[in-house]
Structure 1
Amino acid sequence: MSTGQAILSKMSAQQNTEQYRHENWQGSFSEYLDIVKANPAVARTSYQRMYDMIIAEGTYPVEGSKNLVRYTFFDDPHNNGEDAIFGLSETLMALVNVFRSAALKYGTERRVLLLHGPVGSSKSTIARLLKQGLVRYSRTDEGALYSFGWKEEDGSITWDPMNCEPLQLIPMSAREDVCRELNADRPSDTYSVEITGDVCPLSRYYFQQRLQEHDGDWTKVLESVVVRRIFLSEQDRIGIGTFQPKDEKNQDSTELTGDINYRKIAEFGTESDPRAFNFDGEFNVANRGMIEFVEVLKLDVAFLYDLLGASQEHKIKPKKFAQTDIDTVIIGHTNEPEYRKLQSNEFMEALRDRTIKIDVPYVTRLNEEVKIYNKSYNQARVRGKHIAPHTLEVAAMWALLTRLEQPKHHGLTLLQKMKLYNGKTLPGFTAENVKQLRKEAKHEGLEGISPRYVQDKISNALVVNTTSTSLNPFMVMNELESGLRHHSLIGNDEIREHYRQLISTVKEEYTDIVKNEVQRAIAADEDALTRLCGNYIDNVKAYTQHEKVKNRFTGEDEEPDERLMRSIEEKIDIPDSRKDDFRREIMNYIGALAIDGKQFNYKTNERLQKALEMKLFEDQKDTIKLTSLVSQVVDKDTQEKIDIVKSRLIRNYGYNDESATDVLQYVASIFARGDVKDEN
C-alpha cells in the first residue's frame, strides 16, 4: 500500500458515518412534528437562537465590578481566543440584552442593531464572532434547525431556496390547533411553539399547485414534503449573509432581494413565475440566521427601504412578487463621521427611529489593551526576537492616553486618570469618584489612536531592528512617534503635537518603572531583606510597647532605633505625624497572623516590602557602583555584582541578556546624570 493510500485508509477508519447520518437527517413532515413536540427549540426565531447560543457558553463576573459580567462566547474559546474581545464588558452586555429582549419579543426584534464606534474598535470582530458562532451552534444538538423540500415525480427534491421553517407550510386556519397540540404537556421552562410568517414564493407556488391536486387537503400536500436538518454557513450561503456597499453604478437592490433568471423565462413563460426567479439576495440567504451590513450608513437610499421593511415588518419585496417573510438578525456597523451624517439628515429619520445604537468604543483600561497586543505578539508568534518587559505595556499606555479626555478634577493628570481606570488607588479617590470621571467624559474611547496603528508600528519595529535580539520600549515608541507625521486619521497639527507630548509622558513613566525594577533587583538579596525586616520589627515592637532593644553585638539594652525606622517608613511616604499609627498597624497585623497560627513574612505586606527594598537599594547602590556601567572600565568585583543583578532581572522579570544589559545601562545613565527623583 502506498503512503498516500495508507493515510487515506487511516483517515477513513477515524470517520464516524453514524454521526454524519444523524447530523444530516431527512424525514417526513410528520416525523418533524415529532421532533418539534419533543424539542420546541428547533422552531425558535433567529433572535432566540442567537441569544441561546451566547448564553450556552456561560458567563463569569468581571474582576473588581459587582454589576458587570463577561460572556465566555466573546472570549472566542473555540478558536483559541483568536478573535477574543478584550474589555468592552458594558458594550457586550448591552448587545446581549438587546438579543434577550428580542428573544422575548419585546420589540427590539423589529430594529436594526447598529454597532457604532471608531475604526478598529472591534465592530467587525463582534459581527464575525456572531456569524462563526451561529455556524458552530447550528451543528450542535442544542442548535439544530430544519428546512424542507418538495419531492418531484422523478425522485429529485427541490429544496426551499430560503430554507424556511417547515411549520410555515401549515395553513393559517390550522395553526392555532396545531400549536395547541404541540404545546400540550409542555414544561413551563421550555419554548412554546408559535408559527408566524409564510414560506417563500417558490414554496407557496408548489403548495398551491399540489393543493389543487389533492382537492384542498393540505395534509396530503405535506406528504410530498421532505424535511431535512440544515447547517448555517456563510461559505455555502445558508442562513448567513453579508452586504457591503460598492460603487453605486455597479449595485442595485436585487443584491439584497434576488433577481429574475432570464434564461428560465422562456421555459416558464413569465417573469412572475417563481421558478424563473433566483432567491439568492443577501436577505434571502440570511433567512433563519443573521445578515451583516458593513458600513451600513454608506448605503444608497434605495437600499434603505429594503432594510427598513426587513427590520420593522420582517418582510422583503422581491421583484415581481408580493412581500416575503424573513426571519433574520440585522446587524450593521458604522463609524462616527457616518453616524453624524445620519443624525443631520432629515431624510434618514425613519432609519434612526428603527435603529438601536450600541457604542463600541476603544478600550480604556490598560490591562485589557495590553491583552490585545499580547495576543498578537506573544513569544510563540514572534520567533527569533525577544520582547523586553513593558514594551507592549508602554505602547498600550500611549494608545490609552490618546483616547482619554483631560480630567476636570483639579490636580489629576491624564496618566493618573488612566491608572484609576485600571484599578489603581490614589489618595482621595474612591470607586464612586472613578465612576463620576467616566460619566463626565461622554466621548471617551470614541476618539484617539486605534489598536491597528499600534500593531502596525510594533510590527515595523520588529522588522526594522534587525541587529538586535530584543525589541525594547524605545524602539516601539520611536516608531509610534515617527508614524504620526503620516497618520491619515489625525485631523490637525494640534492633535498630532498632543500625541507627541503623550509619548514623552509615557517615556517618563517607563523610566520610573524600570528604575524601580532595577532597584528591586539590586535589593533582591533575600537574606539581607530578612535581616533588615527583623531589625525593623524588633525596633517597632519595642517602640509600641515602650521597651528597649537588646544590641546584638554588645548585649546591652538600648532605645529603639528611631533613625532606622524612619529611614524605612519615609520610603513609602509615611509622615512623622503618622508613624505611630503605621507601626501599630504593623504590630496588629503580626498579631492577627499569630492568632491564625501563621508566621509573619515581609512579602505578605506589599507596602512594607517596597519600603524595605528601597532602603536596601539605597544602602547597596554605592557598593555596586551602578554608574560605572556607563564607563569603559569596570573592576572585577563590581562586574560580579552587576552580573548578579542582571541574572535577577532575567530570572524574575522576564528580560534576556541583551535587554537586561540595555535596561541596566539606561538606569545607570540616569544615576550618572543625577536625574534620580527623590523617592520620598
Structure 2
Amino acid sequence: MVHSDSILDRISQRQNPEVYRQEHWQGSFQEYLDIVREKPYVTRTGWQRLYDLVLSYGTYPVEGSKEGRIRYKFFDDPENDGRDAIFGLTKPLMELVNVFQSAAKKYGSERRVLLLHGPVGSSKSTIARLLKRGVERYSETDEGALYSFGWKGEEGEDITWCPMREEPLHLIPNSDRGELLEYLNAENDGEGDRHTVEINGDLCPLCRFMFNQRLEKYDGDWTRVVKDTTIRRVILSEQDRIGIGTFQPKDEKNQDSTELTGDINYRKIAEFGSESDPRAFNFDGEFNVANRGLIEFIEVLKLDVAFLYDLLGASQEHKIKPKKFAQTDIDTVIIGHTNEPEYRKLQSNEFMEALRDRTVKIDIPYVTKLSEEIRIYEKDYNTKRVRGKHIAPHTLEIAAMWAVLSRLEEPKNAGLTLMQKLKLYNGKSLPGFTLDNIEHLRNEAKSEGLHGISPRYVQDKVSNALVANGTATSLNPFMILNELESGLKHHSLIPNDEIRENYRHLIAVVKEEYTDIVKNEVQRAIAADEESLGRLCSNYIDNVKAYTQKETVKNKFTGQSEEPDERLMRSIEERIDIPDTRKDDFRREIMNYIGALSLDGKQFDYKTNERLQKALELKLFEDQKDTIKLTSLVSNVVDADTQVKIDIVKGRLIRDFGYNEESATDVLQYVASIFARGDAKSE
C-alpha cells in the first residue's frame, strides 16, 4: 500500500525552487535596464506578445490545400492534451493570426477591436479561452517574461505595487527617453529579429502621484526617485486578475462603466482627504486588470452605449478615463465575440457607426469538413469517456455528416448533389473536379458554415441516446438519428418549419448513405476470404493476359485450350462500372501495371490496386451471398452450417471493422433485411 507521505514526497521533489525564484524575481531599476539591453523583447506590447506566443508553437502545412494554407499548432492545444483544440477552421485562424501580425508590426490593427463573429457553438469562446490560457503560460516562460514595478514604503511598510502593472520604462521622463532608447537599442542594427525597444505611454495616476511625491522629497533628483522603486517579474493570471480581464454584459439597470475603469474607494477618502487622491481609488476595472495582456468581451455587442466610449478610447487611443482622473494609458488586446443577430443590429444601428469603423471582424463559421466534425465528437465520446458503452462504427460519423450537410449551401452545379459536395470538401475525388473546382465551390457559397446545426445540439443528442438506450451494450447510428430527428420539434434555434423540414430530409439522405456504407462493409466481410480472392484474381489475370495477347487459356480441369472467359472478365469489371466500350483500355491498364511491377522486381498483388480489389470483392460477395443465406437472419431460421458461415462474417466485422458482438449482429440483420426486400422486389 502506498502511504500518503510518499506521495507528498514525490510531489515535493517535482517542485523546482529555482523556477519559483525566477518567476518571482525582484531587483533594482538599474538591473532591469541590463535585462532590457540583453533581452529587449521583455518590453513588447500585448499584441506583439500574443503574436509571438502563437508562433512559438510552430506551424505545419495543410494537406490538399492549393493555396498553401498552414495550421498553427497553438490552436491544437498541445499543452492541454487537445482538450480545447480547434478542429478545422484553418482559413479563419490564419486570418486571425494575420491580424495579430499586423497589430504586432503596428500597421493599424493594434488600434482596433477584434470581433469574432459566428453562430452559436462555433468555437468563438474556445478561441478566446485558448488565447487567455496561452498568454498566462507564455508569461511564465523566459521568452514571454515581462516586468512591472512598485514603490518602496518607509521602513517596515510594504511595497506599493503599480495597480496596472505597467512597463517600468514609463519611469523615464519624456525629455530623457530618446537618449535612453539610443542606449538600449545600441546593439540593434535594424536587421534580424531583435526587438526594438520603444516607450509608449506614461505613468498611471497612482504611480504619477508617487513619482511626484518623491521627486519633491529628493529635490528633483530623478536617480534617487527610481532607487525608491523595486522591479519585479509579472506572471499573468485570469484567476488572480493580473493582465487578463473578462467582461460580460449584465442587466442594463445594473451596468456601470466603473466595472471597466475602476471606482472610488469611499472608505479611504477619510484617510486621504479627497476623491481625486489616487490612493483612494480602486484600479480594479477590467481594463485596469487587463493592462499588459488581454481582455475578452463576451457578447460585446450587447454592451450598453455608456460603455461604448470606454471601448472606443481603449482601442483607438489606447487610453481609458477613470473617474476623477486624467486619461490613462493602457496596453491590452481587445477581443470580443458575438453572433449573427447581434451583428445585424450593429450594422443597422447608426449610433454604433464609430464602433463598426474600429472593428476587425473575423468570421468563425461551423466546420464544413466531415473529418474535422467527427473529431469534435470523438474528443468527448471515446473509449476513455464513454465507459461500459460501445459506440458502433460510423455512429459519430453519421451524426457529423448530418450536421455538416445542414451547414452547406446547395451547389449551383446541377450535376452535383449536396452529399457529393460534402465528400469533395472532405478530400474525396470525383471525376471532373479539381482543387480549383472545389475552391470555386467554397467561394461561391459566401455564408456556408454561418448557419445550420450546432455541434452542441449533436453532443446533447448523443448524450441523450447514451442514456435512453441504457440496456444496449452498443450505441448505433439509428439510435442517434432518432434522437436528432425527435429533437427538431423543440429546437429553439430553428427559425421556421421550412428549415425544420429540410433538416428532416437530410436525415433521410444520411440514412441512405449509411445503408451504402454498411452494405459495402458486410460485402467486404463476406468476401474477405483471402484464398478465394486470390484464386479469383489469378483466374481473372490469366484470362486478361490471354485476351490482350490474343492467346488461349488452358482449362485446369480438362487440360484443353479455350478462348478467354469473356463472361468471367465482364462479371468482375461490371462491378466497378467499366462499360463494354472501355473494357480493352482497362485490361491493358492492368497488364501494363503488372509489367511495370515486374520490371522493378516486384510481384503483383491485387491489394495494391484499389479498383481491382473492390471489383474482386464485389464479385466474390455475389457468388457467396446465396451460400451464406444471409436473408435467413430475417426469419431467424438458420441451419447449423449457415450459422458457422455467419459467425465467420461476424468475426471479421468485429476484427477488421471495429464492431462488438451486439453491433455486428445488428448490422448483419439490417443488411439482411435490405437484401430480403431486394429479393422480394425481384420476384
Q: Give the TM-score normalised by the residue count of structure 2.
A: 0.97
- Alignment deviations for residues 219-262 of structure 1 (CA, whole Å, 9 cap, x no partner): 22111110110111000000000000001111110000000000
| 1:261 corresponding residue in structure 2 | 265
Moved more, 665-674 or 588-597: 588-597
Whole-Å separation in 1 of the counterparts to 2:41 and 2:341: 41
Match of 2:498 among 494, 498, 501: 494
State the alpha-carbon separation in 1 of the partners of residues 400 and 576 from structure 2.
28
Amino acid at match of 2:178: E
In the alignment, which of 187, 190, 193 is matched to residue 194 of structure 2? 190
Name the SS of the counterpart of 1:626 in structure 2.
coil
**2:665 match:** 661
How high is the sequence identity, in percent, across the aligned residues? 78
Deviation string 1:434-481 (CA, Å, 9 cap, x unpaired) is: 111111111110000000000000000001101100000000000000
Alpha-carbon distance in 1 for matches of 2:16, 2:498 = 64
Unaligned runs of 5+ in 1: none
State the Cα distance separating 1:186 from its structure 2 match.
Answer: 2.8
Q: Could you tell me whether the CA contact under 8 Å between 1:544 and 1:584 is conserved in 2?
A: yes
Shift of 1:676: 10
3-state SS of 1:333 partner: strand
SS at match of 1:291: strand
Counterpart position of 1:284? 288
Q: Which amino acid aligns with 1:135?
A: E
What CA distance in whole angstroms lies between the structure 1 residues aligned with 2:607 and 2:440?
35
CA distances 1:316-363 after superposition (whole Å, capped 9, x unpaired): 000011110000100000000000000111111100000000000000
* Alpha-carbon shift at residue 9 of structure 1 (Å): 4.3
Partner Cα distance (2:616, 2:638) in 1: 28
CA contact (8 A) 1:25 1:229 kept: yes
- Out of 209, 212, 219, the residue aligned to residue 208 of structure 1 is 212
Equivalent of 1:620 in 605, 615, 624 = 624
Query: Is 1:523 aligned to residue 524 of structure 2?
Result: no
Per the alignment, in what secondary structure is the counterpart of residue 593 of structure 1?
helix
Match for residue 301 of structure 1 among 292, 305, 315: 305
1:135 alignment partner in structure 2: 136
The match for 2:279 is: 275
Give distance in 1, aligned partners of 2:225 and 2:92. Answer: 48
The separation in 1 between residues aligned to 2:585 and 2:221, in whole angstroms, is 91
1:176 corresponds to: 178
* Distance change in 2, residues 1:367/1:10 (3 Å): closer
Of 603, 608, 613 in structure 1, the residue corresponding to residue 607 of structure 2 is 603
Native 8 Å contact 1:670 1:676 kept in 2: no
Alpha-carbon distance in 1 for matches of 2:471, 2:643: 25
Q: Hey, what does 2:578 align to over in structure 1? A: 574
Aligned to 1:70: 71
**Matched letter for residue 562 of structure 1:** E
In the alignment, the residues of structure 1 paired with residue 680 and residue 224 of structure 2 have an alpha-carbon distance, to the nearest angstrom, of 91
Q: Give the paired residue count.
A: 677
Q: 1:325 to 1:592 in 2, by over 3 A?
A: same
CA-CA distance at 1:10 after TM superposition = 4.5
1:125 corresponds in structure 2 to 126
Q: Which moved more, 1:107-116 or 1:596-605?
A: 596-605
Would you say 1:239 and 2:213 are equivalent positions? no
Query: Could you tell me which residue of structure 2 aligns to residue 422 of structure 1?
Result: 426
Counterpart contact for 1:388–1:471, Cα < 8 Å: yes
Could you tell me which of 157, 165, 168 is aligned with 2:159?
157
Equivalent residue for 2:591, pick from 587, 591, 601? 587
Name the residue aligned to 2:15.
Answer: 15
Q: What's 2:104 paired with?
A: 103
Residue type matched to 2:286 in 1? E
Letter paired with 1:180: E
Measured after TM superposition, the shift of residue 152 of structure 1 is 0.7
Distance 2:623 2:4 in 1: 71
- Identify the range of structure 1 (613-622 vs 425-434) with the bigger mean alpha-carbon deviation: 425-434
Any conservation in 2 of the 1:24–1:228 contact (CA below 8 Å)? yes
Mapped partners of 2:315, 2:408: distance in 1: 36
Cα deviation, 1:555-605, whole Å, max 9, x if unaligned, reads 322222111111111111111111111112112222222222222211111
Letter aligned with residue 111 of structure 2: R
Q: Indicate the RMSD between aligned Cα atoms, in angstroms.
A: 1.4
Aligned to 1:60: 60
Whole-angstrom distance in 1 between the partners of 2:317 and 2:396 = 49
CA distance in structure 2 between the partners assigned to 1:217 and 1:479 by the alignment: 76
Q: Does 1:370 align with 2:345?
A: no
Answering whether residue 409 of structure 2 is matched by residue 409 of structure 1, we say no
- Normalising by structure 1, we get a TM-score of 0.98
Superposed displacement of residue 675, structure 1: 7.2
Greater mean deviation of Cα atoms: 85-94 or 179-188: 179-188
Partners in 2 of 1:506 and 1:23 — Cα distance?
Answer: 55
Which 5+ residue runs of structure 2 have no aligned equivalent? none
Q: Tell me what 2:36 maps to.
A: 36
Could you say which residue in structure 1 is the equivalent of 2:453?
449
Q: Tell me the CA shift for residue 196 of structure 1.
A: 0.6
The residue type equivalent to 2:310 in the other structure is: D
1:282-319 deviation line (CA, Å, top 9, x unaligned): 00000011000000000001101100000000000000
Matched, 1:358 2:362: yes
Q: 1:113 to 1:676 in 2, by over 3 A?
A: farther
Cα distance in 2 for residues equivalent to 1:571 and 1:197: 74
Matching of residue 559 in structure 1 with residue 563 in structure 2: yes
Deviations 1:128-163 (A, max 9, x none): 000000111111111111111111112421100001
Instruction: Quote the Cα distance in structure 2 between the aligned partners of 1:143 and 1:190.
Output: 14
State the distance in 1 between where 2:527 and 2:134 align.
Answer: 51
Greater CA deviation, 206-215 or 444-453?
206-215
Shift of 1:624: 0.4
Query: Counterparts of 2:458 and 2:10 in 1: how far apart (Å)?
Result: 46
Equivalent residue number for residue 338 of structure 2:
334
Contact 1:240 1:285 in 2 (8 A): yes
| 1:382 pairs with one of 386, 392, 399 | 386
Instruction: State the Cα distance separating 1:211 from its structure 2 match.
Output: 1.2
Q: How far apart are residue 278 of structure 1 and its match?
A: 0.3
Query: Aligned letter for 1:183?
Result: N
The AA in structure 2 aligned to 1:245 is P
Which position in structure 2 is the counterpart of 1:24?
24
Task: Please tell me whether the aligned partners of residues 523 and 614 of structure 1 are also in contact (alpha carbons under 8 angstroms).
Answer: yes
Could you tell me which of 507, 513, 527 is aligned with 1:509?
513
Separation in 1 of the partners of 2:379 and 2:679? 36
Displacement after TM superposition at 1:6 (Å): 5.0
The worse-fitting range, judged by mean Cα deviation, of 565-574 and 478-487 is: 565-574
Distance in 2, matches of 1:84 and 1:270, equals 50
**C-alpha displacement of 1:428:** 2.2
What amino acid does structure 2 have at the position aligned with 1:120?
Answer: G
Deviation at 1:43, TM superposition (A): 0.6
State the secondary structure of the residue aligned to 1:98.
Answer: helix
User: Helix, strand or coil: the match of 1:674?
Assistant: helix
Deviates more, 1:2-11 or 1:422-431: 2-11
Provide closer, same or farther for how the CA distance between residues 329 and 675 of structure 1 changes in structure 2, counting only shifts above 3 A. farther
Is this contact kept in 2: 1:294–1:332, CA < 8 A?
yes
Q: Is the 8 A contact 1:520 1:613 kept in 2?
A: yes
How has the CA–CA distance of structure 1 residues 6 and 622 changed in structure 2, closer, same or farther, with 3 Å as cutoff? closer
